[in-house]
A and B are shown apart, each in its own frame.
Chain A
Amino acid sequence: MAVVPELAYSPAPESTAPVSIRESYGLFYGGEWVAPAGATTFATQNPATEEKLAEIAYAEAVDIDRAVRAARRGYEKYWRKLRPTERAKYVYRIARALTERSREFAILETMDGGKPIRESRDFDVPQASAHFFYHAGWADKLDWAVPGCQRPRALGVVGAIVPWNFPLLIATWKIAPALACGNTIVLKPAETTPLSALLLAQVCAEADLPPGVFNVVTGDGRTGAALAEHPDLDKVTFTGSTEVGKAIRRATAGMGKRLSLELGGKSAFIVYDDAPLDQVVEGIVSAIFFNQGHVCCAGSRLLVQESVADDVVERLRARLATLRHGDPLDKNTDIGAVNSRAQRDKIVELVQSGIDEGAELVQAQWTPPDRGYWYPASFFTNVQPTYRIAREEIFGPVLSVMTFRTPGEAIERANNLPYGLSAGVWTSSGALALYTAQRLAAGVIWCNTFNQFDPSSPFGGYKESGFGREGGLAGLRAYLQT
């Protein structure tokens, strides 16, 4: 028979032509771009190349104060007076603009954050516009959203602080319900990934959103703290680390502000011996390698029934070799760049602790480029529940594999951490899935799948993974006086 060519994908980089990034960005509040009070700026870079993308304004306390005032004016003067049907039109308009410009948003998100274009294109941006569409639909139906409450009202001005792992999407989780419920909002994107929020500001301006309804202030942790502590906010919503979440809760205690926190996790991925093992492996890949493991609800602890543990590890080891690491803008890349040098260093440090404590590291064989921040897909076997890698959030593509003998033991181990964000249960038995799910202390539990999201489905944590829900009816109530 004929000699056939050896199959390989050639590089298929997404063009960056649709994106125009300005050299520098000011702050956006009161419906316009404003220079910050101080002269301080900081650079945002592409973590895959270490190339500087833009110079970003650093907002100090005085800027925060002006932005919050602008949001308050926007609330009093325009947004609270608008009929709900009119409000809905604006939110629909943003949703449509996001959809129309989805390619631009996806490329920008990948350039600024390092995630594969496949994910920003197929997950982040479509989910973000879905959130706007979903909440736009609620804007004039809020009278039916809360049982027993006839006329729920807006809270007022919301301060939102979001992380760098899903910069656009998590911002959207806060902006869409806030606006739909009649609040105005001041958003503080993460220091390493401000660009998609700034593009969203541009989109909102082009959508003729009344001044002060959506505002963006950029900076670092201190900027976020100044926003959270501002006395004229009615609500603070934060997604990020448990440590910062605790600080925000302390700082806002007694100020009369509403607070929702979506924090860290070390979620369990439970595999029973009757599970569909090939799909289990795909589930693991989605649970821990999605977005380089920079996912608060990542399934970072694999609890597998001892009788199938060797089989699962063998399949996972083989699958590791087929993961495609590399240029995040390449359409065939599965695993892109780690978001920042600091995060890469943190992953390296925690992995070393795992090796030192006696776990066995299995790592994808891949040589990263000279520039940029990278970490190969990895998992640890022989992990004991006392090890740091079994208890601390790594926030990288590193999985800890542990075993259990009985459902009782699986549940006990899954719950035995201060976190409780998500969990996965894998079994062919519906009864066992329900039995297990009912006993897990986690905000989201996926059965025979992982990392599935929908705007109508609430998301949030137990224990130190936070409180308050985002998405669905429960998420709406977080932005309403009821």
Chain B
Amino acid sequence: MPAQTPNGCAMRPAPCRVDAVMLEARASILTKRSFKAAAKRSALELVVACMDLTTLEGKDTPGKVRGLCARGISPAPGVPSVAAICVYPALVPVAVRALAHSSVKVASVATAFPSGLSPLDVKLRETLEAVAAGADEIDMVIDRSAFLAGHYDAVAHEIAATREACAGATLKVILEVGELGSYAAVRRACDLALAAGADFLKTSTGKIGASSTPAVALLMCEAIREHARRTGREVGLKLAGGIRTSKSALGYVSIVHETLGNAWLVPERFRIGASSLLDDVLMQREKDASGNYAGASYVAVA
């Protein structure tokens, strides 16, 4: 139910205040931080340890998922395992078996990913089944249709209901920032998800062109920081969509490092969702060790 004023009119929620100019200026400074030598090596290890290695395609098969899991457990000699493997609900059982004796978590998208436009009971059922099949983490999408129509309470209610449905599992809430249209709207979506019990805020599905940007990541860090300051609850951040190079990943790492601090730079509070980023990280590592760029042939793909 929307909040009511004494005369019965629905109260309009207070506008979310964010200004693009300084937000983008600060994000731009942070993405130009320089990582050299040992700092770069250990930051790239952190990127791998915080990575949700992802495959979300209609053509995904058990074979493909098993390959991805093997790669996630042991990306290359001396490189840590990734944080999680992220798949569609139907492939959760495959991933659970493949990751059984590893530290790598199973993440599943749910709630009619990527659009979120199915009846709520269908979406909740999908969530329940993914958790029952062994998913440790659920990546839900918010209902952007309801959000953009101004039905913020419906969005919040849905997040809370999904939160309940995935009891015991980690809930990541995908805002699909590229569809929200403004920084103020992203901030509003962050605040809704934080209040409704998200464990992670996540930028994007990766299924639309416009997704994570440094400024959006900074804005989400600010929302998380403020929530922690007010409630003491430390919500994580997952960046996804379009992060393909080590350089861009390190830019995001700097944003989290200088906004939320190192307490957030652990897999429990920070993730990068990606499918091809790992290749570039491994090649960068090789380049820093040997001085030469390895060709793609020298990185085991899956």
The CA-CA distance from A59 to B258 in the complex, in Å, is: 47
B167 at interface (Cβ–Cβ under 8 A)?
Answer: no
A449 touches B22 (CB 8 A): yes
A286 touches B25 (CB 8 A): yes
Q: Which of B17, B81, B222, B265 contacts A7 (CB 8 A)?
A: B265
B97 at interface (Cβ–Cβ under 8 A)?
Answer: no
B18 touches A2 (CB 8 A): no
Chain B 221-263 interface residues, beta-carbon cutoff 8 Å to A: 222, 226, 253, 257-259, 262
B262 touches A7 (CB 8 A): yes
A12 at interface (Cβ–Cβ under 8 A)?
Answer: yes
Highest count of chain B CB atoms <10 Å: which of A277, A331, A332: A332
Closest A residue to B253 by beta carbon equals: A7
CB distance from A287 to the nearest CB of B (A): 10
The CA-CA distance from A4 to B42 in the complex, in Å, is: 8
Closest A residue to B38 by beta carbon equals: A10
A206 at interface (Cβ–Cβ under 8 A)?
Answer: no
The CA-CA distance from A428 to B184 in the complex, in Å, is: 11
B92 at interface (Cβ–Cβ under 8 A)?
Answer: no
B267 touches A4 (CB 8 A): yes
CB distance from A30 to the nearest CB of B (A): 42
Question: Which of B45-53, B112-120, B156-164 contacts its partner?
Answer: B45-53
Measured between beta carbons, the chain A residues less than 8 angstroms from B38 are 10
A356 at interface (Cβ–Cβ under 8 A)?
Answer: no
Measured between beta carbons, the chain B residues less than 8 angstroms from A408 are none
Q: Which of A6, A9, A274, A282 contacts B25 (CB 8 A)?
A: A282
CB distance from A464 to the nearest CB of B (A): 29
B37 at interface (Cβ–Cβ under 8 A)?
Answer: yes
Closest B residue to A321 by beta carbon equals: B261
Closest B residue to A5 by beta carbon equals: B42
A279 at interface (Cβ–Cβ under 8 A)?
Answer: yes
A275 at interface (Cβ–Cβ under 8 A)?
Answer: yes
A10 touches B36 (CB 8 A): yes
The CA-CA distance from A4 to B46 in the complex, in Å, is: 6
Q: Mark A55-66, 1 if CB is under 8 A from B, else 0.
A: 000000000000
Q: With contacts A276-B17, A279-B19, A282-B22 known, is A8 near B267, CB below 8 A?
A: no
Q: Does more than half of chain A's interface fall in helix, strand or loop, or is it mixed?
A: loop
Chain A 1-28 interface residues, beta-carbon cutoff 8 Å to B: 1-2, 4-12
B268 at interface (Cβ–Cβ under 8 A)?
Answer: yes
Question: Which of B27-35, B61-69, B142-150, B200-208 contacts its partner?
Answer: B27-35
A331 touches B22 (CB 8 A): no
Interface range, A side? 20 to 34
Q: Mark B79-104, 1 if CB is under 8 A from A, else 0.
A: 01101000000000000000000010
B56 at interface (Cβ–Cβ under 8 A)?
Answer: no
Chain A 438-461 interface residues, beta-carbon cutoff 8 Å to B: 448-449, 452
Measured between beta carbons, the chain A residues less than 8 angstroms from B17 are 274-277, 428
Measured between beta carbons, the chain B residues less than 8 angstroms from A277 are 17
B15 touches A322 (CB 8 A): no
CB distance from A158 to the nearest CB of B (A): 34
B36 touches A12 (CB 8 A): yes
B125 at interface (Cβ–Cβ under 8 A)?
Answer: no
Q: With contacts A1-B103, A282-B25 known, is A322 near B258, CB below 8 A?
A: yes
CB distance from B13 to the nearest CB of A (A): 14
CB distance from A283 to the nearest CB of B (A): 5
CB distance from A432 to the nearest CB of B (A): 13
Measured between beta carbons, the chain A residues less than 8 angstroms from B19 are 276, 279, 428, 448-449
Measured between beta carbons, the chain B residues less than 8 angstroms from A10 are 35-40
B49 touches A7 (CB 8 A): no
B287 at interface (Cβ–Cβ under 8 A)?
Answer: no
The CA-CA distance from A4 to B83 in the complex, in Å, is: 11
Measured between beta carbons, the chain A residues less than 8 angstroms from B11 are none
- Chain A interfacial positions (CB closer than 8 Å to B): 1-2, 4-12, 118, 122, 274-280, 282-283, 286, 322, 331-332, 428, 448-449, 452
Given contacts A7-B46, A279-B26, A286-B22, 9 further A-B contacts (CB under 8 A): A1-B103, A4-B266, A5-B43, A12-B35, A280-B22, A428-B17, A448-B19, A449-B19, A452-B21
The 7 closest A-B pairs by CB, nearest first: A10-B39, A12-B34, A5-B42, A276-B17, A279-B22, A331-B34, A282-B22
